[in-house]
A and B are shown apart, each in its own frame.
Chain A
Amino acid sequence: GAVVSQHPSRVICKSGTSVKIECRSLDFQATTMFWYRQFPKQSLMLMATSNEGSKATYEQGVEKDKFLINHASLTLSTLTVTSAHPEDSSFYICSASKVDRARDQPQHFGDGTRLSIL
């Protein structure tokens, strides 16, 4: 159990395009989902914490108008990169926790989305 599906796995698009990435928990309810960004050969950088039915909490330095997060249901969170530019090219990964606000619960990760902006 605890499968997280992320779609699409890869996106290549022109500068100025908005791109939506979906993160779904397939076999459990996820009240909390997390969005990360990973640069080559580096660790994961938390962008925002997404709670179902409320506004996302963004980490310092992450533009909330640039990276729109919606967590409309207990199994789906979306990240929209608005008006993407080449510097937004990266590997984006989502994760989900089974239980709300439980620090000892592991997060379950999607397979990531490789975003390339031309």
Chain B
Amino acid sequence: AQSVTQLDSHVSVSEGTPVLLRCNYSSSYSPSLFWYVQHPNKGLQLLLKYTSAATLVKGINGFEAEFKKSETSFHLTKPSAHMSDAAEYFCVVSDGSSNTGKLIFGQGTTLQVKP
């Protein structure tokens, strides 16, 4: 069965410093992995996706994530945080057992960016 664990419920950084949001997954299949961002009272916006191509995936707004099979990790990083990055971030794996396109969500990480 697939599952996703976001290791930090809350991350606080100063503006201009690096961001690291950690995610580990469990999957019996070759996983498709995604990172989404949610601003308050909004839907989710796709930041990036991994679908068995390059292991280092570049996304929007300067974010990137590296797929590490040996560590079953898909951590999200950004070199320099901006105030507008403050939001909720979800690591997501596609449910490969059913091919219905269902997604399995992590519990989310709240990113706080301090001035």
Contacts and interface: CB of A to CB of B under 8 A. Distances in A.
A6 B100 contact: no
Given A43-B108, A107-B101, A6 B94 contact: no
Contacts of A42: 107-108
Contacts of A105: 101
B45 interface: yes
| Residues of B in contact with A, size category | 20 to 34
Interface string B25-59: 00000001010100001111110010110000000
B90 interface: yes
What is the predominant secondary structure among interface residues of chain A facing chain B? strand
B97 to A, nearest CB: 9
Given A44-B105, A46-B103, A114-B41, A103 B96 contact: yes
Given A43-B90, A43-B108, A109 B45 contact: yes
Interface in B77-115: 90, 94-96, 99-103, 105-108
Interface of B: 32, 34, 36, 41-46, 49, 51-52, 90, 94-96, 99-103, 105-108
Interface of A: 4, 6, 32, 34, 42-44, 46, 49, 57, 91, 93, 95, 97, 101-112, 114
